[in-house]
């Protein structure tokens, strides 16, 4: 169906009646930049022309530089592949988070904070959506797997900004927020990046617990009082507390952070998750199986570069080329490759966790 032709030469989508009328006004990029000048908070990052990019570009007539960054990330293969990468559980069952849904939830938390305090929402969203594009298959175990092959080590935040997303020619502020979103790295250069670094920790602490509860690994009743009494028991309660605490800190103190109470509740929740979810024996075994597979793939591909697609040939060093190729794989693709290329026994593959019958 091609739509409904009208006497005015337009094509409409629905036959029943014309769409509601709207007196549209063209809002070009310069208008949006001018709006930011008076609408954003002091210290918020302003959009300027084409943005500070490694390779100069012409400005977009309609979108700000950070809106373009967000759109480029959304349309990137690396972003779509997050749908097939582990958040906590490999081969996630229905409703369990993937690395993609995690990125979306981080973006929701971060933009809620940014919008409430007058920060640049488009920049915040771009950083949040792109922050985990450097993750390999199988979760954080992939960093341990790849570390041995790179003199600088493998950090998903740095790899994501400097390798995976480099072809997109993103703005320096977007790349900085992605590169430094992990708390072990330097503080991001923008308040928007700092908001995303908090939103990441808030989001995964709350939703990883929820996923673990749905699998039966833990119960909400197991949460200690230092979590429940301060930030709540459910994901909704916890995220509401975290968002409000971040907003209050920015408004009251002019700093992206949290007061000691909710920050302590977040730390206690994260510690509970580490003890009961991430470091449980089954999770450790899953990580070990992932490391074995990924290292075997890198070793094989470095010795047989002809087995890698021509699109990876821009990287001259065969080891870095193999790391880059394997890091970009989804869980299922990597595990299938291990079986096909290496004769990996299926019983050595990591196993997902099925949801309880309802």
Tens-place pLDDT, residues 210-250:
999 999 999 999 999 999 999 999 999 999 999 999 999 99
99, 137 Cβ separation under 8 angstroms: no
Work out the burial of residue 248: count CB atoms within 10 Å of its CB; fewer than 13 is exposed, 13-18 middle, 19 or more buried: middle
pLDDT band at 354; cut points 50, 70, 90: low
Alpha helices in the chain (DSSP H): 29-39, 65-74, 77-81, 99-117, 121-130, 141-147, 156-159, 172-179, 191-215, 225-231, 235-253, 260-273, 281-303, 318-327, 331-342
Assess if residue 260 is contained within a domain: yes
Q: Is the pLDDT of residue 79 over 60?
A: yes
Q: What integer is the mean pLDDT of 151-174?
A: 98
Q: Is the pLDDT of residue 134 over 60?
A: yes
Region of residue 24 (phi > 0: left; psi between -120 and 50: alpha; otherwise: beta): beta
Assess if residue 309 is contained within a domain: yes
pLDDT in tens, 289-342: 999 999 999 999 999 999 999 999 888 999 999 999 999 999 999 999 999 999
Residues 6+ apart with CB under 8 A from 223: 209, 233, 269, 272
pTM of the model: 0.96
Residues 6+ apart with CB under 8 A from 42: none
Predicted local distance difference test score (pLDDT) of residue 89: 85
Assess if residue 267 is contained within a domain: yes
Assess if residue 121 is contained within a domain: yes
CA angle 81, 87, 93 (to 5 degrees): 85
Question: Could you list the residue range(s) of the whole structural domain that residue 245 is in?
Answer: 63-348
Mean pLDDT for all residues in the chain: 95
Q: What integer is the mean pLDDT of 33-60?
A: 98
pLDDT in tens, 81-130: 999 999 998 877 778 899 999 999 999 999 999 999 999 999 999 999 99
Assess if residue 37 is contained within a domain: no
Assess if residue 82 is contained within a domain: yes
Assess if residue 57 is contained within a domain: no
DSSP 98: B
Q: Is the pLDDT of residue 199 over 90?
A: yes
- Which domain CATH number covers 264? 1.10.3210.10
Q: What integer is the mean pLDDT of 251-273?
A: 98
Beta bridge partners of residue 5, listed in sequence order:
11
Assess if residue 238 is contained within a domain: yes
Predicted local distance difference test score (pLDDT) of residue 32: 95
Predicted local distance difference test score (pLDDT) of residue 356: 61
Please state the domain count of the chain.
1
Q: Give dist(CA 315, CA 311) in Å, integer.
A: 9
Predicted local distance difference test score (pLDDT) of residue 39: 97
Predicted local distance difference test score (pLDDT) of residue 305: 95
Q: Give dist(CA 316, CA 236) in Å, integer.
A: 48
């Amino acid at each position: 169906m091609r739509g409904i032709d009208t006497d005015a030469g337009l094509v409409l989508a629905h036959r029943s009646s014309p769409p509601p009328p709207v007196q549209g006004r063209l809002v070009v990029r310069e208008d949006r930049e001018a709006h930011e000048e008076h609408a954003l908070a002091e210290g918020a990052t302003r959009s300027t022309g084409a943005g500070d990019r490694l390779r100069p570009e012409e400005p977009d007539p309609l979108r700000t530089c950070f809106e373009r960054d967000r759109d480029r990330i959304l349309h990137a293969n690396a972003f779509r592949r997050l749908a097939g990468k582990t958040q906590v559980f490999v081969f996630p069952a229905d409703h369990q988070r993937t690395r993609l849904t995690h990125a979306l939830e981080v973006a929701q938390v971060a933009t809620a904070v940014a919008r409430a305090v007058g920060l640049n929402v488009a920049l915040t969203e771009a950083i949040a959506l792109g922050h985990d594009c450097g993750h390999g298959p199988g979760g954080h175990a992939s960093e341990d797997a790849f570390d041995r092959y790179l003199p600088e080590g493998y950090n998903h935040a740095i790899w994501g900004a400097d390798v995976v997303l480099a072809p997109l020619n993103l703005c320096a502020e977007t790349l900085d927020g992605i590169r430094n979103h992990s708390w072990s790295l330097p503080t991001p250069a923008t308040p928007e990046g700092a908001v995303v670094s908090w939103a990441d920790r808030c989001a995964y602490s709350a939703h990883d617990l929820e996923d673990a509860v749905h699998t039966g690994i833990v119960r909400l009743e197991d949460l200690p009082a230092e979590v429940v009494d301060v930030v709540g028991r459910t994901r909704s309660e916890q995220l509401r507390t975290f968002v409000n605490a971040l907003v209050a800190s920015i408004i009251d103190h002019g700093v992206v952070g949290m007061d000691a109470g909710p920050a302590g509740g977040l730390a206690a929740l994260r510690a509970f998750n580490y003890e009961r979810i991430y470091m449980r024996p089954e999770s450790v075994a899953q990580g070990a199986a992932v490391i074995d597979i990924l290292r075997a793939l890198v070793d094989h591909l470095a010795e047989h570069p002809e087995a890698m697609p021509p699109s990876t040939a821009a990287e001259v060093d065969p080891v870095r080329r193999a790391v880059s190729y394997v890091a970009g794989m989804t869980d299922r693709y990597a595990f299938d490759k291990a079986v096909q290329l290496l004769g990996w026994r299926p019983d050595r593959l990591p196993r997902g966790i099925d949801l309880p019958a309802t």
